[in-house]
Amino acid sequence: MKLSTLRQLKSLASHATCVSSVDRQQLPQCQSIRFSTKWFSSTSTGDRNMEDKNENSSIQQKNFGTHAADGEHDYGYVKNDGRFDGSKPTIAYAKSMPCDYSAMRHEQILQLSVDGDFGARREALTRNIMGVDGIEYDEAGKVVDQIWKDNHRLAWIHRVPYQAGFVTAVTGGMISFPLIFSRDITIWFNDNFVTTDVPHPKDLETFLEVSIWSWNWMEPICGQVSFVLLVLQFARSQLLNLGIKPFSDKMKQIRSDGLVQKYPQYNSMFVKWYSEGNTLYGSPR
Spell out the per-residue pLDDT of the chain, length 285, in tens.
Answer: 444 444 444 444 444 434 334 343 443 444 333 333 333 333 334 444 444 444 444 433 444 444 554 556 555 555 667 788 877 888 988 988 999 999 999 999 999 999 999 999 999 999 999 999 999 999 999 999 999 999 988 888 888 888 999 999 999 999 999 999 999 999 999 999 999 999 999 999 999 999 999 999 999 999 999 999 999 999 999 998 998 888 888 888 888 999 999 999 999 999 999 999 888 776 666
**pLDDT score, position 37:** 37
- The predicted structure's pLDDT at residue 60: 38
CB 17 within 8 A of CB 57: yes
Number of H helices, E strands in the chain: 12, 2
Verify that 256 and 143 share a domain, yes or no: yes
Torsion of CA 44, 46, 52, 53, to 10 degrees: -170
The domain total for the chain is: 3
Beta bridge partners of 84: 89
Whole domain around residue 202: which residue ranges? 155-244
Q: Quick count: other Cβ atoms within 10 Å of Cβ 182?
A: 16
Q: Residues 133, 252: one domain? A: yes
Asked if residue 72 and residue 23 are part of one domain, the reply reads yes
Residues 218 and 137 in one domain: no
**Chosen domain end from 76, 109, 135:** 76
Cβ atoms of residues 43 and 74 within 8 Å:
no
Gyration radius (Cα) of the chain, Å:
33
pLDDT for res 248: 83
Query: How many C-beta atoms lie closer than 10 Å to residue 175's C-beta?
Result: 11
Query: How far, in Å, CA of 193 to CA of 126, rounded?
Result: 60
Q: Which residues of 45-68 are buried (b: 16+ CB within 10 A; e: fewer)?
A: eeebeebbeeeebeeebeebbbbb
Q: Answer yes or no: is 88 within a domain.
A: no
The answer on 231 and 159 residing in a single domain is yes
Q: Let me know whether 129 and 16 are in one domain.
A: no
